[in-house]
Structure 1
């Protein structure tokens, strides 16, 4: 909850995914989709298991960033 509108930029900065997190999300989606194309239900992604549930969460982050781009820096 924000007490004042001036708090919103700080809240957005703290809780928005960083560029490196968004890049990882895009790589995860690509890896899972590649695996699905080969008939795999899960893949090894950067040393960890990844599946459609994780890809769906990553897609949501990417879609939200596209819908609400970060404002220019002051």
Structure 2
């Protein structure tokens, strides 16, 4: 598993207050909402070299999808 994917998962755990997310769980299905999405985007922007917008979390709502999006923008 990539370090970046673990960072994303860690951000979710911090923001949502619980952990053990699989790569394919939907952020909004596990308790996320728009205000928490803004927090996730801000924290991810601090720990990765690429910037994401809140909208990106709506379009890529899983750890795996966000990881792939960030990786595609980093290259």
Answer yes or no: same fold by TM over 0.5: no
Bigger radius of gyration: 1
TM-score by length of 1: 0.31
Q: Going by fraction, where is strand more abundant, 1 or 2?
A: 1
Q: Which has the higher contact order (CA 8 A, sep 6+)?
A: 2
